[in-house]
Copies of this chain bind each other. A is one copy, B any other.
Amino acid sequence: MSDNVVPIKRASNDAPPTLTPILSLTATPMNAVNAIILDRMQSEIPLIPALAGHLIAGGGKRMRPMLTLAGAEVVGYQGTRHHKLAAAVEFIHTATLLHDDVVDGSEMRRGKSAANIVYGNPATVLVGDFLFSRAFELMVEDGSLKVLKILSGASAIIAQGEVDQLTAQRKIETSEERYLDIIGAKTAALFAAASRISAVVAEKDEAEELALDAYGRNLGIAFQLVDDAIDYDSDAAEMGKDRGDDFREGKMTLPVILAYARGNEEERRFWQDAIAGFANEDADLAHAVELIRKHDCVTATRDRARHYAQRACDALSIFPDSAARRAMVEAAQFAVARGY
């Protein structure tokens, strides 16, 4: 039934894809998930809900728990066990965001001051640890060892991906292959696990588990690629995070990897200096954006993203056509199109 899957390229007169269908699909259960999140981030220690709430209440797309909820719809799961697990997924994600902001020395997150700026690094590290522990408590309450295995495995892979990214930072020789390994670990592993666990609680067969895993993993890669493209896309709308952060931190993302590969000798010398941290003024960022545009590297990065988004959609072909499947397909299309 793969011909049921809406192709990723739509006729140019179509309305642009949005998250509206998947948001509608998951709105009711997301209220239940949000209630669990708010309840389980509480603690007798007032600093914990204050700091966690700064990030959690501060918006965010709840993309990962949304995948758990959408996955449950597409497999026809009728229960509510996945609510607690979706909250656990969001806690794991929030913990990694808090630690990322400390690691990167971020100043902004989701359009406001990052938690580390408001509450300091020490509290931010420790509240991340608390949320991570709470995530495991929620999973243990659910009681599925299979879910625990998937999510503890994903957590270890995320941490390895983060360390790997740190190792690659300011290393101009980082290849596209290594970059894909890194984002596969630090971003896509949790997208994959979040999607997959709904097939587990629904007691579906392994093929459905693996289909949801593939959907989440490819969607995660597409999302990260487009995030990384937008950081260098002068045409894109302003994001919640500071523009040019990746450049100033010397992060080797795909637009830079491609611009370096496609550049001439003089351009390569610029990239070597910039990524090493010797050319990171505003004028250098402007020059970087210009070189990336010259070599079509934002477009190339979006093309790579389209490839993964298409794989995400095709992975859904084992499920019959449904509003849930159509919403998930459109979410993948949105992942590629956003920021245009």
Q: Which A residues fall within an 8 A CB radius of B?
A: 43-48, 95-96, 99, 102-104, 121-123, 125-127, 129-130, 132-134, 136-137, 139-140, 143, 145, 148-149, 152-153, 155-156, 158-160, 162-164, 166-167
Contact = CB atoms under 8 A, between A and B. Distances in A.
Contacts of A130: 156, 159-160, 163
A233 B155 CA distance: 42
Nearest to A40: B156
Given A126-B159, A145-B140, A152-B140, A166 B47 contact: yes
Nearest to A152: B136
A158 B43 CA distance: 12
A45 B123 contact: no
Contacts of A136: 136, 148, 152, 155
Contacts of A164: 45
A73 to B, nearest CB: 27
A140 to B, nearest CB: 5
Query: Which of A125, A139, A145 counts the most chain B CB atoms within 10 A?
Result: A125
Contacts of A121: 102-103, 121
Contacts of A166: 47, 122-123, 126
The number of times this chain is found in the oligomer is: 2
A274 B167 CA distance: 40
Nearest to A169: B122
B160 A149 contact: no
Contacts of A127: 159, 163
Contacts of A132: 129, 132, 155, 159
B133 A156 contact: yes
Contacts of A126: 99, 103, 159, 162-163, 166
Given A129-B162, A156-B130, A122 B103 contact: yes
A148 B140 contact: yes
Nearest to A157: B133
A48 B152 contact: no
A148 B143 CA distance: 10
A134 B122 contact: no
A106 B77 CA distance: 50
B102 A125 contact: yes
Query: Which of A123, A136, A139 counts the most chain B CB atoms within 10 A?
Result: A136
A28 B48 CA distance: 41
B44 A160 contact: yes
29 contacts: A43-B163, A44-B160, A45-B164, A48-B163, A99-B125, A103-B121, A122-B166, A123-B166, A126-B159, A126-B162, A126-B163, A126-B166, A129-B155, A129-B158, A129-B159, A130-B159, A130-B160, A132-B155, A132-B159, A133-B155, A133-B158, A136-B148, A136-B152, A137-B153, A137-B156, A139-B152, A140-B145, A143-B145, A145-B145
